[in-house]
Structure 1
Amino acid sequence: MSVNLDWWRGAIIYQVYPRSFMDSNHDGIGDIPGINQKLDYIASLGVDAIWVSPCFKSPMKDFGYDISDYRAIDPIFGDLGDFEQLIEQAHARGIKVMIDQVLSHTSDQHAWFNQSRQSQDNDKADWYVWADPKPCGAPPNNWLSIFGGPAWQWDSRRRQYYLHNFLDSQPDLNFHNPQVQQAVLDNIEFWLKKGVDGLRLDAITFCFHDQLLRDNPAKPENERAGRGFSEDNPYAYQYHYYNNDRPENIVFIERLRALLNRYPGSVSLGEVASEDSLATMAEYTKGDSRLHMTYSFELLTKDYSVDYIRSTVETLENALGDGWPCWAVGNHDVERVVSRWGQSRDAFEQKQFAKMVTAMVCSLRGSVCLYQGEELGLVEAEVAYEDLQDPYGIEFWPTFKGRDGCRTPMPWSHQAINAGFSNGKPWLPVDSTHAEHSVDLQEQNPDSVLNTYRAFMAWRSQSQVLKSGEIEFIDLHSDVLAFYRYDPISAERILCCFNLSNQALDIDLGEIKCKRKISPACLDSASIEYNALSIGRYGCFYAEI
């Protein structure tokens, strides 16, 4: 049987945040056996792959993004046998498995760091980024941590500072050391041999640093709009030219791709955050020797308008060349999209919006990452200060409440304890409003967000032009995102329209001649007569032209 090595092009990738998906042993924390229990549910969504957020051994200071052993499953999630079973059972259902790889830094409890910090002349002394203090004892330069404060932490044993772009318990590896690169690649190959189908590469732009340790220049106030971090965070006060997105990263990425090429069908998805993320996305996916695809925070901000979405996608498309994008409107790091892109909607509008925004992002050219709970239309959960777990939110409270609001447990059953997630006390409380959007209730309602999600994915899976065709934006109305998806070889062309407003609109299509409406029944919120399009609030419209 032939294997589709390009399965990732146009794929729908469902992000599972293990801590909050399903708790099988009722200790209040979701786990891998819990994911295994829900694989039939995931398969029912019509997705192509799951991206499993980190489940490796970790002290959990940053909830798995601080890894102390890259080859071990943390006991709170299960064991290696559970993960091997996840791969086997997912594959049996036609679902690919992608794992989070956090390469730029480790936990300060990793064996490598424990050895590195002991002296300046041991075998791993140069495996992390160490620097002498200035004569006055201050850190070596002005670099800042995303999570607040300087990016340097003093270590009394070595009498030096070490670099941490995130928490001070997440020291940065020194990728200028070839031994570090090889050790990282060896860890990746361990999981490729286990049968994983791909890697989501966390913070991939942070692997290398400027060896001269030059200061980052100041950023003018009018340019401090953040991408993926709080706007009141001083991190936004600098151009991060010297501690992020260094040119040496490309060479390492090419080494990584060469490894993946030895495992046909395995893919890489890089998380990009840089001063010009769209340009970096294009650079990191150029040709066939770098990453397969990347995504950035450009659609994970509060910016929500036809002009913004169009300009973001067009800017990337113009720079991308033969590269391939991946889009996301939500994940474990940002406020849930139904809340982030407008909190004043009533229940009906939230429901329609949730349906529309999924269809919209899944109709763009590229692959798509969809976050658990988006298929239910979940809003951002309210988490009291005393219940906060996220160190980022605790540091910047109350102007920024952190990431806990999008990480609360999945609501499976509206009448069960903790909405069916666990019989124990959950690590984060289940939002009281989420039970109203539980899986069991939505499965009983043909018009629910969940059943619309399923029906739309089934419809999209039959359209090759939506999965892999080209894209061309057009002007229709200031509140309507409109574009063609087309195949230049077959000449198939589809018009896609999305009303981003809460007002029904009547639009003259002018010279656009629609052969027939092909909108799926689950999104039947528009009609056309004599080239006049009527589209409902938060409505969608597809037509052959």
Structure 2
Amino acid sequence: MKAKNIIAKDKDWWRGAVIYQIYPRSYQDSNGDGVGDLLGIVERLPHIASLGADAIWISPFFTSPMKDFGYDVSDYCDVDPIFGTLGDFDQVIATAHTLGLKVMIDLVLSHTSDQHPWFRESRANRDNPKADWFVWADPKPDGTPPNNWLSIFGGSAWQWDGRRMQYYLHNFLVSQPDLNFHNPDVQEALLDVVRFWLDRGVDGFRLDTINFYFADKKLRDNPALPPEKRNDTIAPAVNPYNWQEHIHSKNQSENLDFLKKFRAVLEPYNAAAVGEVGDAQRGLEIMAEYTSGGDKVQMCYAFELLQPHPVAASDVVEVFTRLKATAPDAWPCWAYSNHDVVRHVTRWGLSRSAAKAYTTLLMCLRGSVCLYQGEELGLPEAEIAFEDLQDPYGIEFWPEFKGRDGCRTPMVWMADNQNGGFSSAKPWLPVPTEHLRLAVSAEEADPGALLHHYRKAIAFRHAQDALAKGTMTGMRADGPVVRFEREFEGSRIFVAVNLSGEPATVAAPEGRWKVTGAELGSTGPAGDGKLHLGPWQPCLMLALEG
């Protein structure tokens, strides 16, 4: 039985799955208002199925004032009119399932919009039924915030509210107040949201900022982070958020018990969840905590492969070595790009050949995979003029940090249309001219296009049981070449990928092997018992019996 069938029928369908992320504002506009919507997703689902993906993850489409474009929710159980209706969402579910795609949706549980009825009631006074549903605190005697916590979006994480004469916590925008997970009523209300969407037919969830759910009850100050430990993986270098070690404002141990409750809700539905771990220092360790034991979330992704600098062979080895040492049974989900980071083709300065090599590697790693819309086309980061910016994050830190709009521009479907076939109206973000030559229509007609390589790499993953669910052993870096073996139920595959633009020669593995993956440019050992890899070339081999 091949891995594609295993994923389709197994309750552990998520293990090794390829998940395609849709940013709904930018995927396809069906009604000519310049903004993508749910019926647009329905129209374009066959493209995702043609890639061989197993599931889709749809970024938030809930009712929202859109201060953070859907990540500020004002109604967890309805669709914002800009995206359509609950009936339209039902069509997404039905069409996806017909095409063999699972549907995962993005739940933002750590905070709401300040327009959510829960917060409106909570801020009214200090003795209403929802008075402690959010994180409220008295000021210090001098009127300043209760502690030194900082917001990822800049400035203090505390906002003064004159109605209650208290501060409320917001780890992101001022308009995104943090829920108080120490209140069991809050937890139960959020689990009811989970049940609502499971009953509607979703197959799982992507959990936004999963490690931000709980804050320290005592509201203790975060310590300073030494300069040598700072990095810009989570926040841009110009943001003083990087100057603290966030040991009290997130990553609290109480979260483990909530995740067990969450998992218990998923189990009867055979549903799965992948959590986003936003932490620059302990991302892998938190991933391990949240996915180990089989009683919390199934998958998490940290930011190690979303890092600003090109991922070298030694980086891959270091990531997996740390993960194995922390929790060998933890199940990661890997991504190179998403809606919050510069597209990896630009971030790492990749040629088409290099992009193909990294794609091949991604499909061979132990774990599940998230692909971000447009990466299968090799879309570069778009340059957005300041006057066209929509992202409040970019507006705040311009020009040193240009925000997230450059990776959120509309998907390009048609090369001969100034809007890329995305909309008949002016899109909410401009479509870069340089993206049009990479449109789906253009790449479909080019046999050497990255789009076809993605299809081949995903098909190769599905054809090898060991790549979907197998163990990983023998990982090491030989200069620029990362190498390892995967094994599942006696099936064994050797993987080596040259992550450089120069030829590389390394020792061939011992034993009897058969070269595979010719469609991915794979080569095998030479007569001298070595692997001579060209720039960005892989070697993929299956073990022979005896």
Among 331, 338, 356, the alignment partner of 1:331 is: 338
**Is the alpha carbon distance of 1:476 and 1:310 closer, same or farther for their aligned partners in structure 2, counting shifts above 3 Å?**
closer
Any gaps of 5 or more consecutive residues in structure 1? none
Give me the CA root mean square deviation.
1.5
Among 229, 233, 236, the alignment partner of 1:230 is: 236
Note if 1:422 corresponds to 2:423: yes
Among 307, 312, 319, the alignment partner of 2:314 is: 307
After the TM superposition, which residues 251-270 of structure 1 pair with which residues of structure 2 at under 5 Å, given as runs?
251-263=257-269, 265-270=270-275
Deviates more, 1:294-303 or 1:95-104: 294-303
Match of 1:369 in 2: 370
Task: Give 1:526's aligned amino acid.
Answer: T
Note if 1:493 corresponds to 2:492: yes
Q: Deviations over 1:450-492 (max 9, x none)?
A: 11111221222111001111112444631111111123x41x3
Match of 1:507 in 2: 506
Residue 233 of structure 1 deviates from its aligned partner by 1.0
Q: Deviations over 1:270-295 (max 9, x none)?
A: 11123411111111112121111111
Q: Deviations over 1:296-330 (max 9, x none)?
A: 11110123211112101221122223221111111
Note if 1:212 corresponds to 2:209: no
Match of 1:469 in 2: 470
CA distance in 1, matches of 2:506, 2:196: 55
Among 528, 533, 536, the alignment partner of 1:535 is: 533
CA distance in 2, matches of 1:422, 1:539: 38
Match of 1:524 in 2: 521
Match of 1:7 in 2: 13
Note if 1:352 corresponds to 2:353: yes
CA distance in 2, matches of 1:40, 1:375: 15
CA distance in 1, matches of 2:328, 2:466: 18
CA distance in 1, matches of 2:419, 2:453: 25
Q: Is the 8 A contact 2:515 2:523 kept in 1?
A: no
Q: 2:437 is paired with a residue of what secondary structure?
A: helix
Deviates more, 1:205-214 or 1:299-308: 299-308
Match of 1:271 in 2: 276
Match of 1:45 in 2: 51
Q: What's the TM-score once normalised by structure 1's chain length?
A: 0.96
Deviates more, 1:476-485 or 1:142-151: 476-485
Match of 2:151 in 1: 145
**In the comparison of the two structures, how many residue pairs are matched?**
534
Match of 2:327 in 1: 320
Structure 1 runs (4+) greater than 4 angstroms displaced: none
Task: Give 2:494's aligned amino acid.
Answer: L
Match of 2:76 in 1: 70
Q: Deviations over 1:477-510 (max 9, x none)?
A: 31111111123x41x321111111111233342x
Task: Give 1:126's aligned amino acid.
Answer: D
Q: Deviations over 1:361-397 (max 9, x none)?
A: 1110010111111110111111111111111111111
Match of 1:379 in 2: 380
Q: Is the 8 A contact 1:446 1:452 kept in 2?
A: no
Match of 1:438 in 2: 439
Deviates more, 1:434-443 or 1:227-236: 227-236
Q: 2:56 is paired with a residue of what secondary structure?
A: strand
CA distance in 2, matches of 1:324, 1:218: 31
Identity of aligned residues (%): 52
Q: Is the 8 A contact 1:295 1:325 kept in 2?
A: yes
CA distance in 2, matches of 1:121, 1:473: 60
Q: Is the 8 A contact 1:526 1:540 kept in 2?
A: yes
Note if 1:86 corresponds to 2:92: yes
Deviates more, 1:1-10 or 1:307-316: 1-10
CA distance in 1, matches of 2:265, 2:522: 47
Q: Is the 8 A contact 1:363 1:466 kept in 2?
A: yes
**Is the alpha carbon distance of 1:431 and 1:288 closer, same or farther for their aligned partners in structure 2, counting shifts above 3 Å?**
same
Q: Deviations over 1:417-445 (max 9, x none)?
A: 31111111111111111101010011011
CA distance in 2, matches of 1:233, 1:354: 30
Q: Is the 8 A contact 1:127 1:180 kept in 2?
A: yes
Task: Give 1:395's aligned amino acid.
Answer: E
Task: Give 1:402's aligned amino acid.
Answer: G
Task: Give 2:446's aligned amino acid.
Answer: N
**Is the alpha carbon distance of 1:196 and 1:474 closer, same or farther for their aligned partners in structure 2, counting shifts above 3 Å?**
closer
Q: 1:369 is paired with a residue of what secondary structure?
A: strand
